[in-house]
Amino acid sequence: GAVVSQHPSWVICKSGTSVKIECRSLDFQATTMFWYRQFPKQSLMLMATSNEGSKATYEQGVEKDKFLINHASLTLSTLTVTSAHPEDSSFYICSARAGTALNTGELFFGEGSRLTVL
Amino acid sequence: LAKTTQPISMDSYEGQEVNITCSHNNIATNDYITWYQQFPSQGPRFIIQGYKTKVTNEVASLFIPADRKSSTLSLPRVSLSDTAVYYCLVGPKMDSSYKLIFGSGTRLLVRP
């Protein structure tokens, strides 16, 4: 089946630095990818919709200058957490829907990336 | 705002059948119902999807009544490894840009 891969799986950084997380669709093209954030024992919260070749659409309350999203190709979207602070520590998950390419409509999720900001 | 409502948690024992019900009163005509399973520190994994009546695969069954305002995920003979959070989501199947909003999910604990 279709696979979505994230990298890195976990990252630790110092406060004030920036961290980039990659999300790749390995065997299908994804014009749209979604970024979620999940805090411990909470549900996934949608942060933004990443659109290939255009600007991302952010959910209310998510700072676009803080969480930079770039979707430069049909198989890669990146999330950059800029000037990270301890409160940005979370589990970040990307997803993409195979859509008509695989005729399933199934939404595939990456393995997640755990960010810890010291 | 999530379009679904589920019990926050459920407990079961190994070998039992577990049924998790989800309410989606405002489901649209072109919405499908999809269930995902999530283990700690992993991304959600697709379990089953359906539109109406009953769908069965190798891991679960999905029961959807005629009015489609609810659905029930049935896990036959659960094992300890089925301890996870289960999410019910509704949305159009083939719209690749449709954003899925997660509800609280149901935290299932399977005891020995």
Given a cut of 90, whether residue B44 has pLDDT beyond it is: yes
**B106 confidence band (pLDDT: 50, 70, 90):** very high
Q: Does the distance separating the beta carbons of A46 and B43 come in below 8 Å? A: no
What percentage of chain A reaches a pLDDT higher than 90?
72
Q: Which of B42, B94, B98 minimises the CB distance to A112?
A: B42
Tokens of A24: 């790749």
Residues A63-86, mean pLDDT to the nearest whole number: 94
**Best mutation target, A25, A32, A44, to test chain B (most B CBs within 10 A):** A44
CA closest to B105 among chain A residues:
A43
Identify the pLDDT of residue A105.
Answer: 62
Secondary structure element (H or E) that encloses residue A12, with its range: strand A10-13
Beta strands in B1-112 (DSSP E): 9-13, 18-23, 31-38, 45-50, 53-56, 61-64, 70-75, 84-92, 106-111
Identify the pLDDT of residue A98.
Answer: 64
Identify the pLDDT of residue A88.
Answer: 97
Identify the pLDDT of residue A115.
Answer: 97
Residues A42-60, mean pLDDT to the nearest whole number: 92
Residues A28-46, mean pLDDT to the nearest whole number: 92
Q: Which of A6, A43, A99 minimises the CB distance to B102?
A: A43
Identify the pLDDT of residue A91.
Answer: 97
User: How close B12 gets to chain A, by Cα (Å)?
Assistant: 19
**B88 confidence band (pLDDT: 50, 70, 90):** very high
Given a cut of 60, whether residue A73 has pLDDT beyond it is: yes
Given a cut of 80, whether residue A1 has pLDDT beyond it is: no
Return the bridge partners of B71, or none.
B22
Given a cut of 80, whether residue A94 has pLDDT beyond it is: yes
Residues A16-32, mean pLDDT to the nearest whole number: 92
Distances (CA, A) of A15 to A19, A81, A84, A115, B88: 10, 11, 5, 11, 36
Residues A84-101, mean pLDDT to the nearest whole number: 85
